[in-house]
Amino acid sequence: MTGGVSSSAAAFLLKKQGYECIWVSLLLFNPRFASELHPQFSDYSCSVKNLEGVKEVCDALGIQFYAVNAQKEFSAQVLDPLVASRLAGQRFWPCLRCHHTIIEMLTIKADLL
């Protein structure tokens, strides 16, 4: 979860309905370089903008919070293929590969809980 309004509201509503919630934020890349990576990353919508803010939301809602540094995996599975495909003059859809990487990382982390 990114800590934006949508994910915060979803966590609040689930908690209010009695679900036991945990919040996992994946750090995929350094937001300072987002717009240089790809135009789709420029709004940071697929990355955590403020971990401290996310932690505050979790504390206020009484939700466990986990932050996972997935920059290495994101670089290997999304950024490197993106650059290689662009250099080869091919199209590449980073969002598809990104979603696959996120699901893979969350599955690994869930197995550890």
Predicted TM-score of the model (pTM): 0.71
pLDDT confidence of 81, banded at 50, 70, 90? very high
Q: What is the pLDDT of residues 3-61, one digit of tens each?
A: 778 888 999 999 999 999 988 888 887 666 655 655 555 555 566 767 888 899 899 99
Q: Is the pLDDT of residue 69 over 90?
A: no
Q: Which helix (H) or strand (E) holds 52?
A: helix 51-61
Average pLDDT over residues 55-75: 90
Give the span between the Cα atoms of 108 and 113, in whole angstroms.
9
84's CB contacts (< 8 A; 6+ apart) are: none
